[in-house]
Chain A
């Protein structure tokens, strides 16, 4: 199964396009790395692929079928800052349950402690919250994970633990990954292919 973005163009402001005819294809058995300068449109592309931005031109398809943005989106985006993606008045178990109820073993492999489930988002650190947002995205309906700088704010040990768990789960469940990062060393380790995303405004 392939997740395809075909001829994507998008502009936040008129006449200042940030994405110009971008095409990208992600297979479900690989990890694709995406590297590029700040402001080059990496995150914007991620948002287009996962349905957060709707007024773009071009198509996003799963194999040949155009994705319906009303239902569960097969490509789930994980953000760099997890705290913004959680309702501040919800306890963590409700945040997870909005997507699904992950099995206990899976929570353990991500190092998620049981007593965190009864806490509020502002009582957990960024790294702890990021485990929740990754786990939330691993709903059985997810076919692709778009990871937008998900480990930038984590320490080296946590980074290894989380990526190990995520890569392992995705391999077993045939979930393709698009990993966006500045960190070339990280991408060298985890990615099968690396795409360099040049600043298209300069072209």
Chain B
């Protein structure tokens, strides 16, 4: 038994190294998907009536649809688009969260207003608000991005608000002020280094939500326009062909979306473990 353990390089690594390895692998997979969506040969994606409704084969890994388009290419394209929209939306969302947390730290009234706004936004079902914002902005990628950004900032803003409040009322910040240090010093030296972990992890954990919501409102027809190769579009189109037995039209794109979402989720958790070792003990 011990010999086997010795030969397995994973056993000789400590938890930190394993975490870093896992993070590296996930980032590699995600970057590969993202880059290949832009470099992939799109000639297989054009309409080809000679190869309609083919089941998965080595030539067409994910099969073809009713217009003879290669589903593998379409899925990769869709995932690339999803990752990009997810990235922009989650970064925008954490910027909103940071602004809100900053406003709440200015004074008591700002704080009360922010607490109320956070409660207000999180009490409305995400999807409903998202659809409304998306329609108001004329659907499309911009509608989806702004919609996701303005519905997903609440959880991060809540965490940041509490964290900043805790640091701001701590005895060491109080003492720094008695040493004549101003607000800027306190923010730069005491608060920022402590909340930067929360911001990074928070942004990464918004990612899966952003991708899922992008896909679901596109599926419902309130998101991206039908000629874009989004996963939501692929899934909603495949609905009418599922009854004819073309299972691959929904199965592979759906599974791929799920895997990407899961990867982002794991990535966020692992990075949190790496940056905040006290959480890894739990």
A-side residues, CB < 8 A to B, are 50-52, 70-73, 76-77, 79, 84-87, 89, 98-99, 139
Q: Is B171 an interface residue (CB 8 A)?
A: yes
CB–CB B172/A99 < 8 A: no
Q: Using A89-B193, A89-B194 as known contacts, say yes or no to A84 and B170 having CB atoms under 8 A apart.
A: yes
Chain A residue numbers with a CB within 8 Å of B170 are 84
Please report the C-alpha to C-alpha distance between residue A50 and residue B190 in the assembled complex, in whole angstroms.
21
- Could you jot down 9 A-B contacts, CB within 8 Å? A50-B178, A72-B180, A73-B179, A76-B178, A77-B178, A79-B171, A85-B172, A85-B175, A86-B172
B16 within 8 A of A: no
Closest A residue, CB atoms, query B176: A98
Closest chain A residue to B179, Cβ basis = A99
Smallest beta-carbon distance A193→chain B, Å: 26
CB pair B181–A98 under 8 Å, yes or no, is yes
CB contact list, B116-166 vs A, under 8 A: none
Total residue contacts A-B, CB cutoff 8 A: 33
A79-B171, A84-B172, A85-B172 known; A52-B178 Cβ under 8 A? yes
Nearest CB of B to A108, in Å: 23
Q: Is B12 part of the contact surface with A, judged by Cβ < 8 Å?
A: no
Interface residues of B in 166-190 (CB under 8 A from A): 170-172, 174-176, 178-181, 189-190
Most buried by A among B171, B176, B193: B171
Contact of B179 with A139 in the complex, beta carbons under 8 Å: yes
Please give me the residue from chain A that is nearest to B178 by CB atom.
A73
Task: Give the docked Cα–Cα distance between A28 and B170 (Å).
Answer: 30
Taken together as a complex, chains A and B put the C-alpha atoms of A150 and B170 apart, in Å, by 19
The 3 closest A-B pairs by CB, nearest first: A72-B180, A73-B178, A84-B171
In the complex, chain B residues whose CB is within 8 Å of the CB of A71:
180
Cα–Cα distance between A29 and B282 once the two chains are bound (Å): 53
The docked-state distance in angstroms from the alpha carbon of A87 to that of B188 is: 13
Kindly state the separation between the CA atoms of A52 and B174 in the bound complex, as whole angstroms: 7
In the bound assembly, the distance between CA atoms of A196 and B96 in angstroms comes to 55
Q: How far is the CB of A93 from chain B (nearest CB, A)?
A: 14
Q: Which chain A positions have C-beta within 8 A of B175?
A: 77, 85
Q: Which residue of A lies closest to B193 (CB)?
A: A89
A70 to B182, CA, bound (A): 8
Cβ 8 A contact of A51, one of B172, B178, B181, B194: B178
Give bound CA distance, A126 to B174, whole Å: 20
Given contacts A52-B174, A79-B171, contact A87 B190 (CB under 8 A): yes
